[in-house]
Every structure is written in C-alpha cells, then in structure tokens.
Amino acid sequence: MFCNDGICEEQPDAGPECKSDTDCPAGKHCDILAGKCVANPDGGEEPADGGDAGTDGGQDAGGDTECAVEQVRDCGLTKVGECEIGVERCVDGRWSGVCEGAVYPEDEKCDGKDNDCDGETPADELDQDGDGVSPCQGDCDDSDLEVHPGASEITCNGKDDDCERSTPDGPDLDGDGYSSCGGDCDDNNPEVHPNAIEVSCNQLDDDCDPRTTDNPDQDGDGVTLCAGDCDDNDPERFPGNTEFSCDGKDNDCLTDTRDDPDPTDADGDGYTRGCGGDCDDLNRDVNPGASEIQCNGIDDDCRSATPDDPDGRDQDNDGFTVGCGRDCNDQNPAINPSRQEITCNGWNDDCNDQTPDDPPDGDGDSYTICGGDCDDANSAVNPGATEVPCNGRDDDCNTNTPEGPDLDHDGASSCGGDCNDNDPEVFPGHPEVCDGKDNNCDNQYLPGEVDGDNDGYMVCNGDCDDTDPNIHPTASERCNGLDDNCDNNVPANEADNDNDGYRLCNGDCRDNDPQIFPGAAERCNGLDDDCDLVVPAN
C-alpha cells in the first residue's frame, strides 16, 4: 500500500510478502509497512540508496528517506488475530528496514487462535461444547460435552464417546452379527438375535421380539401352544373344548374322543348313524345317498332340502300342506283333514267326501239336519212339532219357545226347579243368605233367619232382641238401660245405680242416693232431693 493524496492504494507491482529486503527478489525491495515486495523506484536491481526500502507517509522507507535519530515508525501487516504491528527505527538518518516486534500471518496451528490473521478463527479450532478438545484435535462431536478423545466408551448410547472407531458402541459377544445395541436380547447365545425364527415353547425369546411370544395363542382361544393347543391357528381346537361331532376336527385335542359319536351302520347301507347322517339306520333304503320318494311319509334321502311333499305350501298355517297334507282349502285354517265335519256350514271341513256337509233325513220326519231338525234321530222333534213344556226336549227346534219359561230371568225355570220364578234371588244353586228366603230352593233356612218381632231384622243379620220391635241394628238409643241399636254397648248415662227407678239420662241428679230423684219430696237436708236444681232456702 502507498499513500496517494491521502488515499491508501495498492503498491504497483506488489510482490510476495516480506519482512526485510532479503526476502525480496532482484529489482524489488520490502515495503515494511505493507509487508510486500515492491519494485525499486528507479527500476534497478538494488534500492536507490543501496539499503532496505520502506514507506513513510507515502515515501519509500529506505536509504533515501530522511529520519531523525531515535525516530521510530509502525511497521508490519496488521494487528488482527495473532498478528502484531512492529516498529522500524531510524539508524544514521535512515530507516533500518527491520520491523522489530512485528508478528506476521502464519498457517493455522489448531490452537484456537487466528494464526493467519484473517479475522476469523477456523470453526474446527473452536471448542463449542467446552470439553477441552476441538474438532481439529479429534473431537468427533463438538456439540456433546461427553464425546471427545479420552472419554470412556459407554455402550449402546448411540455415541462414539472416545472418538475411537476401534472401540464399538455395542459389542457382539456371541458373534451372531447382532450386538446388544442392535437388539440382541441375549448376546451370549448366538441362536438368539432379531433375525432368528421364533421357536415356540423353548423358553427363549429367539427373535428378540416380545410380540412373537415363546408361548403363543395365535387363535385367541385362551389356550397357548405350550399348554397343549393341538392347532393354535384354529380357535375351535384346544384342550378342554367340547368335542363337536362330525366337523373333522379334534376339538378337545384328545385323540380318544371320537369325531363320529355313533359309527353304527346297522342296516349296512354304508352310512353311519352319526356323521354318516343315516336318519333311519334300520332301513337300507333310507340314507343320504337314496332318492327321495314323494308322499311316502319317509325322508328317504335324509335331506330336508328334497321334501317328501311335492307341494309343501301351507298358506293358512294349519299344519297341512296342499300336497301330501291334502289340504283341500289352503286359504282357511279351519279346513284340513284333521277337522271334524261341521254340518250345514257349506264347507268340506275334513276334506273327506265321505262325511257330507248335509247328511240325509235320519228319522224320516221329512226334516234334515240342515233343514233345521235339531234331533234327526227322533221324528217327534223337528221344526214343525209343537213344544211340550217340561219334557226335557226342544220339540220345535226353536230356542225362542223355551221348554219352561224363566219369568225372573235368573237362569232357572220352574221345570228346572226354581221354587219362586218371580224372584231372581231364588233358584237352585243360589247361595243361602240371611233374607228370610229359601234362596237355593232346598226348603232349608239359615239359623236365626226369622223376624219374630216384624221389625225387618232377624237374628242372623244382627237383631239382638227379636222379641222387641224397638230393638234392632238401626234403632235409636233410648233412656231405658237397654242396647237398643244392638251395638253391644249400653250408654253409661242409662244406668240406675241406686235402683230408685231413675237414671242420669232421665234426670236423676244423684244416682248413688235412692231418695234423690225427680219428684222426690224435699227434705231439710241441704240437698236438691227432687233434682229441680233448687235447694229450698229454709
């Protein structure tokens, strides 16, 4: 650099860096301030003054530069980083060309310093985690305080703690290719590692995967393979299960339990009673391989899908089909072969033409049953006959002309033993009640069913004195010392305790003194002898 009118500019033909003229090639000298080799001012091989060259205020710092004795000036490159500015002394009126105390840029040394004085310390020289070792010194993870050369290797933490690849994070003790860090759950057994096949019931986690258990229950039936499940892929097969016949499986895992519960083939048709499906093992013509013969009442092929009945419709749900059921009217459940023929309803109730709906005149009285003859076995009974009372027959077959009238409409006529057909509470079978009537027509009455005093009450319905018409359950109490209303209670004021013929209720003002009562003669005793509420003054 040189100063041109107060502005620093690059020195023309600046050469290599230098500290003295001896560092520069021929034709150049060392600019001490710039630290660069520059061309000699006269273009010669040596500096103009034959000595070191330099600059001071834009002039060469060499032999032609005047300076005072003991005068010094700054020299060197920079004060950035580890570099330092030195001083050049004036010797014999000339600058010495030697920059004392200057520190110049060097190659970086991995010491955490800015050796090349570029204003930056290389990132690999910084100790970011404060563990005392920088990346350029071998710290393989400068963000982790516990990782650096010299640290102890901790297995299975995913770190190269000592920054030595020769000490692995996870060893493989059994040589199976998997370390404990790599998922080897037993690094002392080469048969156990994450890539092994799980072998059931050996009490080992062969594949180091807890999801593939040593004792599996793959079918979820509650019994594991090691507990004796003979097919752990079938939930219908395990010890303790019920043996299901004819499914081709050993459901209970017991070979002595037969799948066919009944292997008998009594008729020798090749089909067993059990799994063979022979529904009649006493008939060789009946088995699952036979052809169905319709309407023979036999399930020849033992298959409900091929019915014995060619027309199995039963639209009226009466249990009889149109085909073999021979239901002659499948729209009416009251008509089928099981029904009794009901005459004169216009239907073939039993589907049998041999039982006609209108039978012929059985008694020869010219009236059939359908013609209204209510007893076709008796010629004296028909719609044209005259009703004869109380003979036990409906002679004219007309219920409106009764055998015996029921005048009181109690359900019993005089022919039926009603002893009073004008009283609906009197007829055979009626309960006997306390009303003075022979209710059940048996000529018997209840005990006490008599009204001796004609007061409308009997002993059986509460008359406590059937000889006195003034005493009965609804009578009013009188001052007579009697239980007039038959409630088993005589009022206290009806008593005559002194037997003077007077009671409290009829004016006896002192019922414990027989000489005091209404009408008694007053005596000179200071008492109200006649009960008139007045005691004579004398």
What is 150-179 written as a DSSP string? TPPP-TTSSS-TTS-TTS-SS--TT-SS--
Nearest to 392 by CA among 417, 370, 373, 371: 417
Rounded average pLDDT over 225-235: 84
Q: Within 13 Å of residue 351, how many CA atoms lie on the same side as its CB?
A: 19
pLDDT surpasses 50 at 291: yes
In the chain, the largest separation of any two C-alpha atoms, in whole Å, equals 195
Best-predicted range by mean pLDDT among 44-53, 197-206, 216-225, 515-524? 515-524
| Torsion of Cα atoms, 216 then 220 then 222 then 227, to 10° | -30
Ordered DSSP codes for 73-133: EEESS--STT-B-EEEEEETTEEEEEEET-B------SSSS-TT-SS---GGG--TT-SS-
Which range has the worst mean pLDDT, 25-34, 40-49, 394-403? 40-49
pLDDT tops 60 at residue 164: yes
**For residue 57, what pLDDT is reported?**
38
- Residues 251, 244 contacting (CB under 8 angstroms): yes
More confident residue, 522 or 20: 522
Q: How confident is the model at residue 40 (pLDDT cuts 50, 70, 90)?
A: low
Choose the weakest-confidence range: 136-150, 250-264, 291-305, 438-452: 250-264
Q: Averaged over 350-358, what is the pLDDT?
A: 86
Q: Is the pLDDT score of 162 beyond 50?
A: yes
CA-to-CA distance for 178 and 280, rounded, in angstroms? Answer: 68
3-state helix/strand/coil string of 416-433 = CCCCCCCCCCCCCCCCCC
Interval 483-496 mean pLDDT: 88
Is residue 351 pLDDT above 70, yes or no?
yes
- Supply the pLDDT for residue 103: 92
363 vs 383: CA distance, rounded Å? 13
Q: Average pLDDT in the 26-53 region? A: 59
94-103 pLDDT, tens per residue? 888 899 999 9
Residue range 1-11, pLDDT digits in tens? 444 444 555 54
Residue 390 or 124, more confident? 124
Residue 58 has pLDDT above 50, yes or no: no
- pLDDT for 49: 40
Q: Shortest CA distance to 127 belongs to which of 148, 109, 106? A: 148
Give the pTM.
0.27
Give the residue-averaged pLDDT of 352-371: 88
Q: List the single range of 138-147, 163-172, 229-238 with lowest mean pLDDT.
A: 163-172
Instruction: Write down the residue that tokens 């059990």 correspond to.
Output: 274
In this predicted structure, what is the pLDDT of residue 406? 79
Is residue 156's pLDDT more than 90? no
- What tokens appear for 298 in the block? 């036999």
Name which of 44-58, 285-299, 436-450 the model is least confident about: 44-58
More confident position, 165 or 380: 380
**Mean of pLDDT values over 196-219:** 83
Write out the two tokens for 359.
């039978």
More confident residue, 186 or 8: 186
Using the predicted structure, report yes or no on whether residue 47 has a pLDDT greater than 80: no
Q: Provide the pLDDT for residue 142.
A: 86
Residue whose token pair is 């301030």? 33
pLDDT tens-place string over residues 441-487: 988 888 888 888 998 899 998 889 989 999 999 999 999 888 889 99
- Mean pLDDT over residues 21-37, rounded? 73
Which pLDDT does position 32 carry in this prediction? 62
| Residue 461 φ then ψ, to 5° | -115, 25
Q: Is the dihedral of CA 414, 420, 423, 428 positive or negative?
A: negative
Checking if the pLDDT of 266 tops 80, the result is yes
Give me the pLDDT at residue 2, please: 43
Q: What percent of the chain has pLDDT over 90?
A: 19
In degrees, rounded to 5, the angle at the alpha carbon of residue 209 between the alpha carbons of residues 207 and 212 is 90
The pLDDT, as a whole number, for residue 34 is 67
pLDDT for residue 271: 93
Percentage of residues in the chain having pLDDT higher than 70: 90
Mean pLDDT of 64-87: 85
pLDDT of residue 5: 46
Query: Given a cut of 60, is residue 48 above it in pLDDT?
Result: no
Work out the burial of residue 341: count CB atoms within 10 Å of its CB; fewer than 13 is exposed, 13-18 middle, 19 or more buried: middle
pLDDT at 14 over 70: no
Report the chain's mean pLDDT, rounded to a whole number: 83
What confidence score (pLDDT) does residue 210 get? 83
Buried b (16+ CB within 10 A) or exposed e, 178-212: bbbbbebbbbeebebbeebebebeeebbbbbeeee
Confidence (pLDDT) at 383:
92
Evaluate whether 163 touches 148 at the Cβ level (below 8 Å).
yes
Q: How many beta carbons lie within 10 A of that of residue 70, not counting itself?
A: 8
In this predicted structure, the answer to whether residue 111 has a pLDDT above a threshold of 80 is yes
